[in-house]
Chains A and B, each alone.
Chain A
């Protein structure tokens, strides 16, 4: 039977499948979880930590991504490791060194027992092209943003089954989207499961989801090209390169404003001032904490932002 490896942030899923393991992005279960963490800074990491420790999420092994992407995961991952769960630590090169990136991928494949099936690289690559096509349809207002977000966020693990996942992608409803303003959502994804639906109900069409876009943007056909691509994972490197990617996408997607979602006690929150200085768009910053339906205070901010954009355009 295929074993499951939990991943705490982006790791090439094509590599995990090629090693004949099933990836499981532990974050994807957090927004709908009812777990109240015993101790926490960031609820994203504290919830998956407690779910693993309490047996609410079964995994054979865990790969913790630490460094630029997420600092809290390193400690919460170690708590899981100390409970006896086989755990591997994965680091992205802040200086974008391709050799370092390749060595990290090699260590990962050793942890997973080595590559068994290189055909998975191509299969996952093809699926990512479908993801990109879906993303373009959203920009053309032909698919609901909430549907696209649900699909793109699943590209981190392809829901554990690339064949079934492809069918899900093919079944996404095509429709004419009506809205009052086009916005981008940058930062870590909201911990509120209905965030995109709430934004939609207020006339905001989210045409860019920063982090999920990274999931389909990066990839390759072999270990070396995967290393060359994933070393550019924007969340793990200097913020200047992240701003460059964001600016390019905002321009391409013709947005009216930007929503920056920040997570309580996440170091990425400190980046808000930088974005406000370098992105020349109306910016709404919202901060979330525990997983739950979007709170009224956040709804008020979204509604006010929608009104402001509508009045000013």
Chain B
């Protein structure tokens, strides 16, 4: 079975054979066709993500269902999934089948971190390393992404270093996301943004929960789509 997750920023593919991942790949979303080569049978694809209905598929499922199947593969006991995407953040409460999606504001999404990285003219991937260079960050209060950037500039004017401001940005980001998460013990975080160790550090300092991150958190929804295919479609 094949899971194809074409999200707002990146496209991911996972090939699954009897519950084991045999191949996976990530490309920018606009190059998703590179993932579906001649060897791939369209009838084996379960798609998910923003563009799930625009790509070849046998069945298409939402990112919420895909995330549930993908996370349970690694951590069956998880209670809460936090999926930080490029354009939105989803919090899925597995205890009562409820979920929240924040897509009205860039604060708390990958887009906000890209904006901050763009301002400093550095790669997004280096934000975590900058965060870890300092123990405390500049105070960034605003929960709106656009205003947080102007607040960030004000802190630089006051004399805070780039590292301190990045640390503060991550804390503000984590505060924003934590407001969406009901009290719980077992949280799993997924999505490419979780590769940023600064975000994980900030989330750990704010949430009173045990946070787990599965291997290759960016691929979880593609994996979940493939698992859904094996468990529900082929059944």
Contacts and interface: CB of A to CB of B under 8 A. Distances in A.
Interface in B95-131: 96-101, 103
A307 B62 contact: yes
A301 B101 contact: yes
A308 B68 CA distance: 9
Nearest to B100: A285
A309 interface: yes
Contacts of A307: 61-62, 64-65
B103 A297 contact: yes
Contact of A308 (B64, B100, B101, B232): B64
A296 to B, nearest CB: 9
Contacts, number: 37
A61 B234 CA distance: 63
Interface in A125-158: none
A308 B65 contact: yes
Given A304-B64, A307-B61, A297 B101 contact: yes
A257 B97 contact: yes
Contacts of B101: 297, 300-301
Q: How large is the interface on B (under 10, 10 to 19, 20 to 34, 35 or more residues)?
A: 10 to 19
B62 A303 contact: yes
Contact of B65 (A257, A285, A301, A311): A311
B189 to A, nearest CB: 19
A282 B97 contact: yes
A282 B64 contact: no
A184 to B, nearest CB: 15
Contacts of B100: 285
A303 B50 CA distance: 13
For B63, B101, B103, B232, the residue with the greatest tally of chain A CB atoms inside 10 Å of its CB is B101
Interface in A259-313: 276, 282-285, 297, 300-301, 303-305, 307-309, 311-312
A230 B167 CA distance: 57
Q: How large is the interface on A (under 10, 10 to 19, 20 to 34, 35 or more residues)?
A: 10 to 19
A282 B98 contact: yes
A198 B175 CA distance: 34
A305 B99 CA distance: 8
A308 B103 contact: no
Contacts of A309: 97
A304 B65 contact: yes
Contacts of A285: 100
Nearest to B228: A311
Contacts of A283: 96, 98
B173 to A, nearest CB: 21
A288 B98 CA distance: 19
Interface string B49-80: 00000000000011111001000000000000
A308 B99 contact: yes
A284 B92 CA distance: 11
B217 to A, nearest CB: 20
A68 to B, nearest CB: 27
Contacts of B64: 304, 307-308
Residue of A284, A297, A311 with most partner-chain B CB within 10 A:
A311
A307 B232 CA distance: 12
Contacts of A257: 97
Contacts of A304: 62-65, 99
A257 B96 CA distance: 10
A301 B65 CA distance: 11
B61 A308 contact: no
A196 B99 CA distance: 21
A282 B96 contact: yes
Q: From B61, B98, B103, B232, name the one whose CB has the most chain A CB atoms within 10 angstroms.
A: B98
A301 B98 CA distance: 11
Interface of B: 61-65, 68, 96-101, 103, 232
21 contacts: A257-B97, A276-B98, A282-B96, A283-B96, A284-B99, A285-B100, A297-B103, A300-B101, A301-B99, A301-B101, A304-B63, A304-B64, A304-B65, A304-B99, A307-B61, A308-B64, A308-B68, A308-B97, A309-B97, A311-B65, A311-B232
Given A283-B98, A304-B64, A307-B62, 5 more contacts: A282-B96, A282-B97, A284-B99, A297-B103, A307-B61
